[in-house]
Amino acid sequence: MLRLLRIRNFALIRELEMEFDEGLNLLTGETGSGKSILVDAFGMLIGNRSSQDMIRSGCDSAVIEGMFEMEPANELSRILADAGFENEENRLLIRREISASGRSRVFIDGHLATLNLLKTIGERLADIHGQQDQKSLLDLSAHLEWLDYYGDNGILLSEVRRRYKLLRETAGRLLEFEANKEERLRRIEILRFQLEEIRRIAPLSNEREDLEREIAVLSNSEKIMAAATEAYSVLYESESSILAGMRRLERLLQELERFDGSWTQHGESLKECLFRAEDIALAARDYAARCDFSPERLEQAQQRLLALDRLSRKYCVSGGDIFQYTETCRQELENLTASADASAGLEKQLEALTAHYLACARQLSEKRTRDASKLEKEIRKEFFALAMPEMKLEVYFQGAKDDAGDGLIHGSYGLHGLDNIEFLIAPNKGEAMRPLARIASGGELSRLMLAIKSICGDEDRGKTLVFDEVDAGIGGRVAEAVGRRLQKLSKNNQVLCVTHWPQIAAFARTHFSVQKREADNRTETVAHPLSREERITEISRMLAGEIITETTRRHAEEMLEGTEGEVQ
């Protein structure tokens, strides 16, 4: 909702500041006073194309600023946050600068921004309905939103959207599986081949170390047996063996101990050495007896070690890691096989979700068809009341798209269901139905949009709706009908309207008078809000022209009194 509009050096405006309120805000004034200039300036503020021709003569630049009040945590807040503009005050300051060189700069909350971003947020802040500004007429998605609001299809539409999002999410996951399918199958074959090759060799944990030790023993068995035999002989078997000498020494120490008890400890130490020497001698004897050189076993161990080395080199792992590599391959194969099973499960899930989506979307389509028939009849009554008795509206349902989509979801499926609609209009009796956006008359366009939004415009809740030329080519009775519909629309939206009719002006909650004046030998446009007494004077002027009588003033006051209850 627009709260403040400040304009400087734009067309006939030198400097102007206007504060707007909720509800219906009216701009009145003589023809040529500059009312449409204010609408043009507001249009540029929300992203319309700028032109250096609009800069006030003799000035280097024009500046338009607007302060908007936003609803908290809405789509607009998300768009701003995504663009890096954090807004926590629920107020938005927009500034547009137009230089004589043709350059235009945009500022949002004091920070430089792009014109594309301004257009994006401008579409959510306001709609301008006049001969030159009918963006929503060209946006066919808006037509569908109008029909859904009229039919109160919010709950059903939300369910369609929920199911479509699930459908897209599942399809996306399946597409990822499909995109990697060939690579996954190739990897599965490689892993199976590797595991089969490793299985045939069947490496064991720490097997390489055991084989290397065994080969070392078998390759030196003669030397090992000779050394063990000689060790046994030196310790035990020869006449001058170490154990024989140690026993002689033991007897001598016992003799010394008989005469001197201090030798007891030496005798104990010698006994311990005797026990250890005997153990070593027996171990050498037994080892020599067991040492049986087998050329066949040596050949087997060497061939086994060569096989393990080949595996290690082939799969670029050290010999000790081939067992762990096998476990890694086995786990990867299990994961890939499980992914293939998951892909099959996703296909079944996608099929079920598609059926659920179609059931709900078709239900919505049937409801929209019934709603369209009712809307066509109801809006004709509005056309008649707004001095367009011959105008007819048709809700045209376009055929389903032939687009096959991405192969998983048909191109006709969408977030809003299966339907693509367009409002068609026949302005006069006997004319063919044509797209709504091709209507030429600015006044008809504005009243047409007023009729549509009066019946199905609540999708715009929170927007500022601007109507220019809405009263072109109508009479007083119709003007009152237009005023009532503007006032009704303003209960959920802020409405700005330019009018020449007192019957419409009487419904204003906030009324501005736009005038031309001379200052410093130059003409400029000014505007100011009217008090109640000033409104009576302005409406009197609109009723009677320059000569205002007491009768005219009483009539104007009666008009205000007749609408004040409705406005409140």
Helix (H, G, I), strand (E, B) or coil at 532: helix
Give the mean model confidence (pLDDT) for residues 62-88. 86
Cα 557 to chain centroid distance, Å, stands at 54
DSSP secondary structure code for residue 525 in this structure: E
Per CATH, the architecture of 1-131+442-568 is what? 3-Layer(aba) Sandwich (3.40)
Q: Name the percent of the chain lying above pLDDT 70.
A: 88
Q: Which residue has the higher pLDDT, 253 or 536?
A: 536
Nearest C-alpha neighbor of 17 from the set 512, 508, 488, 561: 512
| pLDDT tens figures, 249-283 | 878 888 888 887 788 888 788 888 888 888 888 87
**Cα dihedral across residues 101, 105, 110, 112: positive or negative:** negative
Provide the pLDDT for residue 509. 93
Residue 400 carries which side chain, given as an amino acid letter?
Answer: A
Name the pairing type of β-strands 13-19 and 392-397. unpaired
| pLDDT tens figures, 539-568 | 999 998 878 889 999 999 999 988 876 665
Please, what's the b/e burial string for 406-441 (b: 16 or more CB within 10 A of its CB; e: otherwise)?
eebbbebbbebbbbbbebbbbbeeeeeeeebbebee
**Token pair of 507, please?**
């419904």
Give the mean model confidence (pLDDT) for residues 372-379. 93
Contact 302, 215 (CB under 8 A): yes
The span from the CA of 417 to the CA of 164, in Å, is: 8
Q: Which residues pair with 95 in a beta bridge?
A: 65, 107
| pLDDT tens figures, 10-53 | 999 999 999 999 999 999 998 888 898 999 999 999 998 888 88
Please, what's the b/e burial string for 262-300 (b: 16 or more CB within 10 A of its CB; e: otherwise)?
ebeeeeeebeeebeebeebbeebbebbeebeeeeeebee
CA distances from 112 to 51, 93, 95, 107, 108 (A): 20, 12, 9, 4, 6
Nearest C-alpha neighbor of 510 from the set 524, 483, 529, 488: 529
Residue 447, exposed/middle/buried by CB under 10 A (0-12, 13-18, 19+)?
A: buried
Nearest C-alpha neighbor of 532 from the set 497, 556, 499, 503: 556
Q: Where in the chain is the domain with CATH 3.40.50.300?
A: 1-131+442-568
CA distances from 430 to 150, 425, 433 (A): 28, 12, 9
Provide the pLDDT for residue 568. 58
Contact 151, 299 (CB under 8 A): no
Provide the pLDDT for residue 520. 84
Q: How confident is the model at residue 364 (pLDDT cuts 50, 70, 90)?
A: very high
Query: Residue 271: phi, psi to the nearest 5?
Result: -60, -40
Nearest C-alpha neighbor of 33 from the set 347, 421, 500: 500
Nearest C-alpha neighbor of 247 from the set 280, 275, 283: 275
Contact 28, 511 (CB under 8 A): yes
CB-based contacts of 294: which residues, under 8 Å, 6+ apart? 218
pLDDT for 474 beyond 70: yes
Any idea which of 77-86, 197-206, 435-444 has the lowest mean pLDDT?
A: 435-444
pTM given for the model: 0.66
Q: What is the DSSP string of 299-344?
A: HHHHHHHHHHHHHHHHTT--GGGHHHHHHHHHHHHHHHHHHHHHHH
pLDDT for 392 beyond 80: yes
The span from the CA of 372 to the CA of 421, in Å, is: 10
Any idea which of 153-157, 198-202, 442-446, 477-481 has the lowest mean pLDDT?
A: 442-446
**Token pair of 297, please?**
């076993």
3-state secondary structure 364-387: HHHHHHHHHHHHHHHHHHHHHHCC
The span from the CA of 76 to the CA of 70, in Å, is: 8
Any idea which of 18-22, 324-328, 479-483, 539-543 has the lowest mean pLDDT?
A: 324-328
Provide the pLDDT for residue 319. 56
Q: How confident is the model at residue 439 (pLDDT cuts 50, 70, 90)?
A: low
Provide the pLDDT for residue 406. 59
Provide the pLDDT for residue 113. 93
Helix (H, G, I), strand (E, B) or coil at 425: strand
Q: In what order do the strands lie in the sheet with 91-99?
A: 13-19, 2-10, 61-69, 91-99, 104-108, 111-113
Rounded to 5°, the CA angle 205-210-215 comes to 145
Cα 500 to chain centroid distance, Å, stands at 46
Name the pairing type of β-strands 494-498 and 464-467. parallel
Relative orientation angle of helices 207-219 and 221-232, to the nearest 10 degrees: 70
The span from the CA of 6 to the CA of 93, in Å, is: 11
The span from the CA of 260 to the CA of 67, in Å, is: 117
